[in-house]
Amino acid sequence: MAELPNQQESLSLDTFVRGLWEENPVFVMLLGMCPVLAVTNTTVNAIAMGLATTFVLVCSSLLVSLLRNWIPKQVRIASYIVIIATFVTIVDYAIQAISLELYAALGAFIQLIVANCVILGRAEAYASKQRLHTTLINSLGMGAGFTLALLSLGTVREVLGSGTILGIPLFGADFQPWVVMILPPGGFFVLGAWLLLFNWLRLRKERRLQAAAAESAYAR
């Protein structure tokens, strides 16, 4: 994380976009992988998990930021965990009330949001040092980035593994679903494939920058 300790960040568009792309919690920082792999076998699950995590992330970051001058340094991690666990309990009961079907599909992974390192990482590295409004925007960005990652895995796996998207069949009756994609190995494969794609994009950009630099040096 680029920011210096104890330095207040001023609010800008970058505060939001960083979480979405440059510091995407899943694709770049490789945090919070467990729910990413486990609940992305359908698009609906992925969206629900993304929203639930975003809610917990935003609420707990706000509270941590509010209390940042009152929480003693020595017990900060424990305090953060308790704050996070409180909001997860709320989400757990809320989802149970909204849709039992969804609750069954996500299973223990709703409660396991507590153990999502993205949230604790945000609390420790950002919310405990920054003011309320930058924290709000930053955690919204991180949550959006996380949801985006879940969605990009969920859609690919559902399309390949069941031939549907959001439960609507895409291909004709002749489609032979690639079942392994909705089973555990598929999660690893699809995430690996996304990372390969991002690596390729990054390398290509580097090569282009180098070429441009060489060209300008030559022109001079």
Partner 1 sequence: MHAEPLSLIFLNAAVVNNFVLALFLGICPFLGVSAKKETAWNMGLATMFVMLVSSAAAYGINWVLGELQLEFLRLICYIAVIASAVQLVEMFVKRFSPALFRSLGIFLPLITTNCAILGLALFQTAKEYDFVQSLVYAVGAGTGFTLALMLMAGLREKLALARVPRVSEGAAMSLMLAGLLSLAFMGFAGLGGSHG
- Contacts to partner 1 by CB under 8 A: 30-35, 37-38, 77-78, 81-82, 85-86, 88-89, 92-93, 108, 111-112, 114-117, 120, 180, 183-189, 191-192, 195-196, 199-200, 203
Q: Residue 215 CB, nearest distance to partner 1 (Å)?
A: 22
Nearest CB to partner 1, comparing residues 4 and 108: 108
Nearest CB to partner 1, comparing residues 25 and 141: 25
CB 57 within 8 A of CB 182: no
Q: Residue 75 CB, nearest distance to partner 1 (Å)?
A: 10
CB 79 within 8 A of CB 71: yes
Which residue is listed with tokens 């690919």? 156
Q: Residue 180 CB, nearest distance to partner 1 (Å)?
A: 7
Cα→Cα distances 204→30, 152, 191, 208, Å: 21, 22, 20, 6
Secondary structure (DSSP) of 131-196: -HHHHHHHHHHHHHHHHHHHHHHHHHHHHHHHSEETTEE-S-TT----GGGGSHHHHHHHHHHHHH
Nearest CB to partner 1, comparing residues 96 and 99: 96
Q: Residue 95 CB, nearest distance to partner 1 (Å)?
A: 14
Q: Residue 40 CB, nearest distance to partner 1 (Å)?
A: 10
CB 183 within 8 A of CB 162: no
Q: Which residues of 146-181 are buried (b: 16+ CB within 10 A; e: fewer)?
A: bbbbbbbbbbbbbbbbbbbeeeeeeeeeeeeeeeeb
Q: Residue 110 CB, nearest distance to partner 1 (Å)?
A: 10
Count of C-beta atoms within a 10 Å radius of residue 91:
18
Nearest CB to partner 1, comparing residues 75 and 212: 75
Nearest CB to partner 1, comparing residues 97 and 217: 97
DSSP state of 39: S
Nearest CB to partner 1, comparing residues 16 and 87: 87
